Chain A
Amino acid sequence: MRKTTARVLPVALAATLFGAAACGGGGSSTTSDGRTTIKIALWNYKTTPEFKALIDGFEAKYPKIHVEPVDILADDYSDKVTTMLAGGDKTDVLTMKNVTDYARYGTRGQLLPLTDYVGKLPDKASYSGLEDFDLGGKYYALPYRQDFWVLYYNKALVGDADMSHLTWDQFDTLAKQSTKGSGSSKVYGTYLHTWRSVVQAIASAQTGGDLLKPDYSWMKDQYTVALDIQKAGATIPFGTAKSQKITYDSQFTTGKAAMVPMGTWWGAALLAEKAQGKNPVDWAMAPIPQIADDGKTTTFGSPTAFAVNKKARNADAATTFVEWASGPEGAAAVAKIGIVPSYHSDSVMNAFFGVAGMPTDALSKQAMQPSKVQLEMPVSDKSSDIDQILTEEHELVMTGEKSVDAGIKEMDSRVKNEVQ
């Protein structure tokens, strides 16, 4: 008997191991009450209210479909989805956090084409950011929101300066004027976050420079402004912000920064924090400062979209969700909580400014209607390699390890040599 045990036990163990592994991939696609379930990959479900707004709105309209969120940490989202798709994951709807990742999944054939639907849209022009998803004439995702950069400011700290047509030089001066105090009670005129887009995407949008092609000399003026602000002590130094992992939200809501250039996604978060009593700041929006003083507002931004996984379990229901979310009804659902939808119409904008606590002054309304929104990073199979190089050199320039000229020269030569 003992011998039997000795022989059978390992086999049984092995069988258990394999059995457990085999069971891992299961799961049902309908609920107990017979509704079709679609799973949707998204990030930070609790702190990103638009997802719940969309899911609730959709389920109300389509009671036969149940939407189940698959929550992923925002910072890990791209890596995680890439890994999921590589493993043949069957999650029905995938949120496209940025266009670069979208292009990667789309060109690899991991997403279901939605080209026919886009071709039949009667009011294509109302979908802002839609053309950014054109991959050689094919569409694999539909945008439901379109964020772009504006200037958030703390009314109490800025005073009565006219911010309707700021140039970057005027912004520089205003930031220095608004800087007060010293030590731990210091109030900075502005906070320039550590992302390279704060300098580079603005320069690209407003000078017409191409982020994918050297030479990058068009960045020089914008770097000069950013470094001048930093040198004057009108923003937390880049190195400190980076090593302390300072968040732009805490700088603004604790009243330590008077003006913060940031994307429109922030508005909803500021409103939510206000409702929870975590944001005592009286804030509003102004158009992003400009390089050229020609009365136009050029800014940059990027759309967020939903796509259907090619291996989706319930592709039809998933497609219905993606189409609904990007259309007028989805737009109304997100505008109601202070998110800028991709689909634009007067009623949607009214819903947006009707949100409790949303600043409704003329300047804020002007900020929400830029003349042009350029895509933050052009889509190409080289985008993420170039992004890496530009980020590294941005760090070196902003920490003062390299001069602006040396940094730009290095960007030129590295993009030429390393990106194949």
Chain B
Amino acid sequence: MTAVSSSPAPATADNGRRRRRRTVLVGWSFVLPNFLGFAALTLVPVVGAFVVAFTDWDSYSTPNWVGTANFRRMWHDDNFWTAVRNTCWYAAGHIPLTLAASLGLAVLLNQKLRGVGILRTAFFFPYVTSLVAVAVVWNMLLSPDMGPVNQVLRHLGWSHPPGWTTSTDWSLPALILTSVWRDMGYYMVLFLAGLQTIPAELYEAARMDGAGAWTRFRHVTLPGLRPTTYFVMIMLTISSFKVFDLVQVMTEGGPGRSSLVLSQLIFREGITQGRFGYSSAISLALFVIVLAITLVQFRFQRRSER
């Protein structure tokens, strides 16, 4: 420090560059602690996974380079395609339903009602509840013989209600139902925040022009929420494709393979069977799928902004 302050003042241009460099360094130093953690725990493993995907690493022996063997194996692996199908199925149910439910809740709870704070908290509650507890409770609710859900359905005249998690046709819908219930509170909060940003004058003007409630929602609320909706879509897509914990606790991918999802296959191949090369290859495939979908969403967002 002393060296810097005691040296004679250099040319102004030099001084400016130095100051700029110092600003950059200080900026970096603030980011550094976080970046170190990110690099050590996320960046390096992610880059590592790209390399491991081309080897036969079993976590212990020296890895051998096997080229594209893992990817060729994946192409012919029935389990992989089952998992891809199930994951897409899950996403196709989870994304639109959660979006609709959370948007609907947000619009409803954006009004000046008595006790609206309590309601908002109540809908947010599932999100902060332990996922294992959620899964266990829903498993009980959906129990085919004794569960309350099926008792109600039988009461309503459905003589053979779904078998939910014990049936190959209903295990994914059961998972989607549970995850929508759990996630909608979180996205509702995001939408509520978005709703606050829409100027009240717009609604007033629309009302002056004779727009009904639906028209106002369609032409004021929805366009006003576009940035929020876009963000929610992206987050939902990513979380749907990497769903793991809920499936693992509720159905373990069963019955049979009817609810086996990609993350579970990655876990099974890697941690359980010790085939880290193959499991990294599947992770890469998942990465590519999510990346492709996100890019498409980006495109759409850009176009609609124009």
Whether A242 sits at the interface, judged by CB under 8 Å, is: yes
Shortest C-beta distance, A81 to chain B (Å), equals 11
Cα distance, A17 to B32, chains bound together (Å): 11
Q: Do residues B78 and A414 form an inter-chain contact, with CB atoms below 8 A? A: yes
A82, A108, A240: which contacts B144 (Cβ < 8 A)? A240
Q: Do residues B29 and A392 form an inter-chain contact, with CB atoms below 8 A? A: no
A-B pairs, 10 with minimum CB distance: A239-B166, A86-B59, A10-B29, A396-B256, A395-B255, A10-B32, A392-B256, A13-B33, A401-B168, A243-B165
Shortest C-beta distance, B270 to chain A (Å), equals 10
Cα distance, A6 to B22, chains bound together (Å): 10
Cα distance, A13 to B61, chains bound together (Å): 35
The contact string, 1 if C-beta is below 8 Å from chain A, for chain B 79-90, is: 100000000000
Shortest C-beta distance, A135 to chain B (Å), equals 16
Which residue of chain A has its CB nearest to the CB of B77? A418
Count chain B CB atoms within 10 A of each CB in A78, A82, A245 and give the residue with the most.
A82
Residues of A within 8 A of B26 (CB): 6-7
Shortest C-beta distance, B19 to chain A (Å), equals 12
Whether B274 sits at the interface, judged by CB under 8 Å, is: yes
What's the interface size class on B, roughly? 35 or more
Q: Do residues A6 and B29 form an inter-chain contact, with CB atoms below 8 A? A: yes
Segment 1-59 of A: residues with Cβ below 8 Å from B: 1, 3-4, 6-7, 9-10, 13-14, 17
| With known contacts A385-B273, A396-B255, A240–B145 Cβ distance under 8 A | yes
Q: Do residues B143 and A240 form an inter-chain contact, with CB atoms below 8 A? A: yes
Residues of B within 8 A of A276 (CB): none
A104, A237, A239: which contacts B274 (Cβ < 8 A)? A104
Count chain B CB atoms within 10 A of each CB in A10, A242, A243 and give the residue with the most.
A243
| With known contacts A14-B32, A82-B59, A414-B78, A399–B166 Cβ distance under 8 A | yes
Residues of B within 8 A of A104 (CB): 274
| With known contacts A13-B32, A83-B271, A4–B1 Cβ distance under 8 A | yes
Residues of A within 8 A of B30 (CB): 10
Cα distance, A108 to B273, chains bound together (Å): 13
Whether B272 sits at the interface, judged by CB under 8 Å, is: yes
Shortest C-beta distance, B37 to chain A (Å), equals 7
| 13 additional contacts (CB under 8 A) given A108-B58, A239-B167, A385-B273 | A7-B26, A14-B32, A14-B36, A83-B271, A239-B255, A240-B146, A243-B140, A243-B144, A243-B165, A243-B166, A396-B168, A399-B163, A399-B166
Whether A112 sits at the interface, judged by CB under 8 Å, is: no
- Report B's interface with A, CB cutoff 8 A: 1, 22, 25-26, 29-30, 32-33, 36-37, 58-61, 73, 77-79, 136, 139-140, 142-146, 163-168, 253-258, 268, 271-274
Residues of B within 8 A of A198 (CB): none
Whether A110 sits at the interface, judged by CB under 8 Å, is: yes
Which residue of chain A has its CB nearest to the CB of B169? A401
Residues of B within 8 A of A108 (CB): 58, 60-61
Shortest C-beta distance, A391 to chain B (Å), equals 8
Q: Is the interface of A mostly helix, strand, loop or mixed?
A: helix
Identify 15 residue pairs between A and B in the complex whose beta-carbon atoms are under 8 Å apart, listed by A's number. A7-B26, A7-B29, A13-B33, A14-B32, A14-B36, A110-B60, A239-B144, A239-B163, A240-B145, A242-B254, A243-B165, A244-B143, A392-B253, A393-B256, A395-B256
Segment 129-175 of A: residues with Cβ below 8 Å from B: none
Which residue of chain B has its CB nearest to the CB of A244? B143
Q: Do residues A384 and B272 form an inter-chain contact, with CB atoms below 8 A? A: yes
Residues of B within 8 A of A17 (CB): 33, 36-37
Cα distance, A396 to B139, chains bound together (Å): 18
What's the interface size class on A, roughly? 35 or more
Cα distance, A384 to B73, chains bound together (Å): 18
Q: Do residues B145 and A401 form an inter-chain contact, with CB atoms below 8 A? A: no
Residues of B within 8 A of A237 (CB): 144-145
Residues of A within 8 A of B33 (CB): 10, 13-14, 17
Residues of A within 8 A of B22 (CB): 3
Which residue of chain A has its CB nearest to the CB of B142? A243
Number of A-B contacts (CB under 8 A): 102
Which residue of chain B has its CB nearest to the CB of A1? B1
Residues of A within 8 A of B143 (CB): 240, 243-244
Cα distance, A4 to B1, chains bound together (Å): 7
Shortest C-beta distance, B83 to chain A (Å), equals 13
| With known contacts A79-B272, A385-B273, A401-B168, A3–B1 Cβ distance under 8 A | yes
Residues of B within 8 A of A384 (CB): 272-273
Which residue of chain A has its CB nearest to the CB of B29? A10
Q: Do residues A82 and B271 form an inter-chain contact, with CB atoms below 8 A? A: yes
Whether A85 sits at the interface, judged by CB under 8 Å, is: yes
Q: Do residues A243 and B272 form an inter-chain contact, with CB atoms below 8 A? A: no
Segment 63-88 of A: residues with Cβ below 8 Å from B: 78-79, 82-83, 85-86
Residues of A within 8 A of B257 (CB): 392
B59, B140, B256, B268: which contacts A244 (Cβ < 8 A)? B140
| With known contacts A17-B33, A396-B168, A417-B78, A388–B163 Cβ distance under 8 A | no
Residues of A within 8 A of B268 (CB): 388
Cα distance, A18 to B274, chains bound together (Å): 29
The contact string, 1 if C-beta is below 8 Å from chain B, for chain A 238-268, is: 1110111100000000000000000000000
Shortest C-beta distance, A80 to chain B (Å), equals 10
Residues of B within 8 A of A3 (CB): 1, 22
Cα distance, A245 to B166, chains bound together (Å): 12
Q: Do residues A401 and B167 form an inter-chain contact, with CB atoms below 8 A? A: yes
Cα distance, A153 to B58, chains bound together (Å): 44
Cα distance, A396 to B1, chains bound together (Å): 73
Q: Do residues A243 and B273 form an inter-chain contact, with CB atoms below 8 A? A: no
Which residue of chain A has its CB nearest to the CB of B272? A79
The contact string, 1 if C-beta is below 8 Å from chain B, for chain A 371-396, is: 00000000000001100100011011
Shortest C-beta distance, B130 to chain A (Å), equals 16
| With known contacts A3-B1, A240-B145, A399–B140 Cβ distance under 8 A | no
Q: Do residues B271 and A79 form an inter-chain contact, with CB atoms below 8 A? A: yes
Residues of B within 8 A of A10 (CB): 29-30, 32-33
Cα distance, A14 to B253, chains bound together (Å): 42
Q: Do residues A401 and B60 form an inter-chain contact, with CB atoms below 8 A? A: no
Which residue of chain B has its CB nearest to the CB of A395? B255
Shortest C-beta distance, B242 to chain A (Å), equals 19
Cα distance, A114 to B176, chains bound together (Å): 51
Q: Do residues B166 and A86 form an inter-chain contact, with CB atoms below 8 A? A: no
Cα distance, A248 to B21, chains bound together (Å): 69
Residues of A within 8 A of B139 (CB): 243-245
Q: Do residues A9 and B145 form an inter-chain contact, with CB atoms below 8 A? A: no
